[in-house]
Amino acid sequence: MSSQKDYIQKNKERFVEELFTLLRIPSISADSAYKGDVMKAAEVVAESLKSAGAEKVEICPTPGYPIVYAEKIVDPSLPTVLIYGHYDVQPPDPLELWTTKPFEPVIRKTDKHPDGAIFARGACDDKGQMFMHVKALEVMNATNTLACNVKFMIEGEEEVGSENLAWFVDRNVEKLNADVILISDTGMLANDVPSITTGLRGLSYVEVKVTGPNRDLHSGLYGGAVANPINVLNKMIASLQDDNNHITIPHFYEDVQELSEAEREAMSKAPFSLENYKQALDLSDVYGELGYSTPERASIRPTLDVNGIWGGYMGEGAKTVIPSWAKAKISMRLVPHQDPDKITKLFQEHFEKIAPSAVKVEVTPHHGGLPYVSPTDDPGYRAASKAMEESFGKTPVPVRSGGSIPIVALFEQKLGLKSILMGFGLDSDAIHSPNEHYGLFNYYKGIETIPLFFKHFRENN
């Protein structure tokens, strides 16, 4: 609909300015020092939904950060699209690696984004992508083209496990009644290779502590005679993967769904260049589970990674010491049909079992989440595919992603709704990293594509 395109064209500068206002709020959900800012972000989102034309806008309290709910029901007999997104962001550190400040958005050009990209924490994950939906509502409203009923559910705790969104969903099944969930919180292959995410990995996250002597010891007087917790922890972690980078925890792969040869063959058709991949990361080689390609290792196979490891002396110079303890944070990405609780339990049992008697081991589970796969032959996928085809001029490729949005599997369980993961970010947008950015092309393309999803979803239903 060209009236929509005209409206976007006329208002494009303002659309960026308004996103900047949201990006300036450091809504870091992991750090309680930013509580006021997270709350402020919820208010700004609610206000923006009101001005975009939502009829009912509520900031719904939860035991944690609130859910911003909004709706516009044009006609109860039309299908309803439920939009999900998040207004919280990851901590920006390490700050010294940012070229410009994380909460002072600026536009700069990059190789991948010759038209410019917005640099700020949350620009892509997920404020920029979530805000496209708010602006798309404005576009549809202003041009009188809202083709379906719409509901919004924007949370502030995605980056810390979405615990209270689960709480909210449990209590609001009726209110959230819809025909499909539409989410832009993932990526696509390239700006000229549109794709739709058809799977997410699950997650099991644990923290481990290995304790040795009751105090730090002189490494000359005691070294060699007592267990060094850092040495032991490293040995234990190293043993969790064998020479083929296969995870050694007994029963770990028990529930893993192996893809058929035909499915793997189809997957290998998606455009991917190993050379570009290595080059973008300054790597001389890739590394991973024997027998699987790089895209497979990063999507359909489970992983075990240390996210952080610490203990002992980390200051300047040398201190000769046997530390009393060592700790690590370990994440396992899961695939269908692995269960996060079961995997956490298997990890715990195994980790306690392999510990030498000279140390004490504690395993503390953090948040987890179920993996998710979406169909490619239902009305939601078809609407997204047609929408992208119309806006990009190319049929999007279905791609399973390696990332996690744990709440998506819960939506299916609790609301009986499939989620369509129509994301517009690029892997190179540095989400969770310093210099996160989001292409202006991607931002506008998203705002243009979302109304087309509504149009095609209505036609399909």
What are the residues binding ligand BES (CB under 6 A)? 125-126, 158-159, 161, 185-187, 200, 203, 367, 369, 401, 403-406
- Whether cis (ω within 30° of 0) applies to the bond prior to 271 is no
Which is nearer to Mn ion, 18 or 88 (by Cβ)?
A: 88
Supply angle C-alpha 326, 330, 336, rounded to 5.
Answer: 160
Which is nearer to ligand BES, 71 or 126 (by Cβ)?
A: 126
CA distances to 84, 279, 432, 450 from 230, rounded to whole Å, are 42, 33, 28, 51
Which of 88, 126, 157, 179 is flagged as catalytic?
Answer: 88
When asked if residue 18 is in the footprint of Mn ion (CB under 5 A), the reply is no
> How far apart are the C-alpha atoms of 125 and 146, rounded to whole Å?
26
When asked if residue 448 is in the footprint of Mn ion (CB under 5 A), the reply is no
CB of 243 to ligand BES, least distance (A): 27
96 SS3 class = helix
Residue 401, contacted partner among Mn ion, ligand BES, none, CB below 5-8 A by kind: ligand BES
Cβ atoms 233, 328 nearer than 8 A: yes
When asked if residue 429 is in the footprint of Mn ion (CB under 5 A), the reply is no
The values of phi and psi at residue 325, to 5°, are -150, 165
> How far apart are the C-alpha atoms of 71 and 82, rounded to whole Å?
9
Helix axes 35-52, 127-142, angle to 10 degrees: 20
Which is nearer to ligand BES, 102 or 161 (by Cβ)?
A: 161
Which is nearer to ligand BES, 80 or 303 (by Cβ)?
A: 303
When asked if residue 126 is in the footprint of Mn ion (CB under 5 A), the reply is yes
CB of 244 to ligand BES, least distance (A): 25
Cβ atoms 320, 219 nearer than 8 A: yes
Which is nearer to ligand BES, 211 or 401 (by Cβ)?
A: 401
Residue 186, contacted partner among ligand BES, Mn ion, none, CB below 5-8 A by kind: ligand BES
CB of 398 to ligand BES, least distance (A): 14
78 SS3 class = coil
The first and second tokens of residue 223, run together, are 């070294």
> How far apart are the C-alpha atoms of 357 and 138, rounded to whole Å?
64
> How far apart are the C-alpha atoms of 100 and 173, rounded to whole Å?
43
Cβ atoms 26, 53 nearer than 8 A: no
Q: How far apart are the first and last CA of the chain?
A: 20
CB of 347 to Mn ion, least distance (A): 23
Residues 194-223 that bind Mn ion (CB under 5 A): none
> 362 catalytic, yes or no?
no
CA 287 from centre of chain? 23
The values of phi and psi at residue 90, to 5°, are -75, 155
CB of 157 to Mn ion, least distance (A): 11
Candidates 288, 417, 404, 397; CA nearest to 338 is 404
Which is nearer to Mn ion, 323 or 403 (by Cβ)?
A: 403
When asked if residue 155 is in the footprint of Mn ion (CB under 5 A), the reply is no
Strand ranges, E, within 360-418: 360-369, 372-373, 397-400
When asked if residue 436 is in the footprint of Mn ion (CB under 5 A), the reply is no
Residue 406, contacted partner among Mn ion, ligand BES, none, CB below 5-8 A by kind: ligand BES
Residue with smallest beta-carbon separation from ligand BES: 403
Torsion of CA 379, 381, 383, 386, to 10 degrees: -130
> 158 catalytic, yes or no?
yes
Which is nearer to ligand BES, 37 or 436 (by Cβ)?
A: 436
CB of 128 to ligand BES, least distance (A): 11
Amino acid at 117: A
Which of 18, 71, 158, 436 is flagged as catalytic?
Answer: 158
When asked if residue 185 is in the footprint of Mn ion (CB under 5 A), the reply is yes
When asked if residue 125 is in the footprint of Mn ion (CB under 5 A), the reply is yes
When asked if residue 138 is in the footprint of Mn ion (CB under 5 A), the reply is no
Amino acid at 25: I
CB of 89 to Mn ion, least distance (A): 8
Catalytic residues: 88, 158
Q: Which positions lie near Mn ion, rule CB under 5 A? A: 125-126, 185
